[in-house]
Amino acid sequence: MSSTPDAPLRIAAVFLTMGDRPAELHRAIRSVSDQLGDPVEIVVVANGVPAPEVPDGVKVVTLPANAGIPGGRNAGLAAANADIVMFVDDDGWLPRPTTAERLRELFAADPRLGIVSFRIVDPESGVTQRRHVPRVRVGDPGESSEVTTFLGGAAAIRQAVFDDVGTFPAAFFYAHEETDLAWRALDAGWRIRYDADSVLCHPATSPTRHQTYFRLNARNRVWLAKRNLPKPVAVAYLATWVALTLARTRTLSGLSAWSTGLLEGLRTPCGRRKPIAWRTVWRMTRLGRPPLV
C-alpha cells in the first residue's frame, strides 16, 4: 500500500545478518533509528542463522537456511511495509541523521526515480573505493549523476519498481543481482541515481575475500547476459568480460574457479529471458555505460 499523495513517503531498512557481527548490526540499527523525521521501519533478516537480539520494534525474519544475498533481501522486502526500501549491509551505517529525509525528498520530487545508490565511504580513510561508484568514468565520487546500476548493500529502491519488474533473482545467490534488477528497471522506464549526499559508512573490503567469488561472478555474468541482453549485445558483453578477466586475474586458482563458473553459466538455465529493448541499450550508452562493460 502506498502513502497518500500528501503524506511523507514511508521508508523501511532491511539488514541481512549471518550472525557473526552483532556489534556492527546494532550500530547499523541505531544509525537508522536515529534518523530525523518519521520513523523508519527496520527489518533484520537472519539468513540461515538464529534470530539475533534486537531492540524493541525491530522486525526479525528468520530463514532456515542461507538463501543468499538476493534471496535474503527478497525475504526482507516481503516483510517490509513501505514506499521506499533501503538495503544496507549489517556492517555499514548511516553517519548522517538526515539521510532518510533526503531520500523522501528525492523520491517525492521525481516519480520516475526508482533507485538511489548511496556513496560508500571508508570510515577510517574517508575514501570511496573506485568499484563503489557505479560509473565507468568514476570522476569525483562526491558528484551525483544518473547511472545504470547500483550497489545492493547501499541503496534505496521504490516499492513500485519491484511491483513493476519483480524482485532480485534469488538463484544468483551472490553477485550481479543488482545489475539484473537495474537493467529490468531501466527497461521499464525507471531512473537510477548515484547520490553522493546519501552517505553510507562501510569498512573498505575486497569482494575476492569470499571463496566463491570467482565462480559465482562468472556464472552470474553469463546468466545476466542470457536473461537480459539482445543476442548480439550479449555476445559482445561476455567477450569483453572474458578479456578483462583474463587480463586482471593474477592467480591460477582464481582463473580455474572463474572458468568453472563461466561454463556453468553457459550450460545451465538462467530463469526467464526477456531482452531489454534496443532503446534501453541506447539509453544506457548515452548515460556512459553501454551493456558491454
Q: What are the grid coordinates assigned to 290, written together?
A: 553501454
CB 18 within 8 A of CB 49: yes
Is 4 among the domain residues? Answer: no
CB atoms within 10 A of CB 140: 10
DSSP 55-124: -TT-EEEEESS--HHHHHHHHHHHH---SEEEEEETT-B-S-TTHHHHHHHHHHH-TTEEEEEEEEE-TT
Phi then psi for residue 15, to 5 deg, are -115, 135
pLDDT of res. 169:
98
- 244 in the same domain as 153: no
- 251 in the same domain as 151: no
- Long-range contact pairs involving 235-240 (C-beta distance under 8 Å, separation at least 24): 236/292, 237/291, 237/292, 240/292, 240/293
- 218 in the same domain as 178: no
What percent of the chain is predicted at pLDDT more than 70? 96
pLDDT of res. 4:
55
Answer yes or no: is pLDDT of 1 > 90: no
pLDDT of res. 178:
97
- Give the mean pLDDT of 98-115: 98
Residue 3 or residue 27, greater confidence = 27
List pLDDT tens digits, range 35-90.
999 999 999 999 999 999 999 999 999 999 999 999 999 999 999 999 999 999 99
Amino acid at 189: G
- 195 in the same domain as 238: no
* Mean pLDDT score across all residues of the chain: 94
Looking at the 3D structure of the chain, how many domains does it have? 2
pLDDT of res. 7:
80
Is 31 among the domain residues? Answer: yes
pLDDT of res. 206:
67
Answer yes or no: is pLDDT of 288 > 70: yes
What domain range is 133 assigned to? 11-205
- Give the mean pLDDT of 264-273: 96
Q: What are the grid coordinates assigned to 40, written together?
A: 523508519
The H or E element spanning position 43 is strand 41-47
- 159 in the same domain as 105: yes
- Give the mean pLDDT of 6-13: 91
- 124 in the same domain as 65: yes
- pTM: predicted TM-score of the whole model, two decimal places: 0.94
Q: What is the CATH number of the domain that holds 135?
A: 3.90.550.10
Answer yes or no: is pLDDT of 2 > 60: no
List pLDDT tens digits, range 129-152.
999 999 999 999 999 999 999 999
Q: How confident is the model at residue 253 (pLDDT cuts 50, 70, 90)?
A: confident
Is 242 among the domain residues? Answer: yes
Q: Cα–Cα distances in Å, from 224 out to 74, 196, 237, 287, 292?
A: 18, 27, 10, 20, 12
- 175 in the same domain as 51: yes
List pLDDT tens digits, range 169-215.
999 999 999 999 999 999 999 999 999 999 999 988 766 555 588 99
Is 16 among the domain residues? Answer: yes
Residue 125 gets which letter from DSSP?
Answer: T
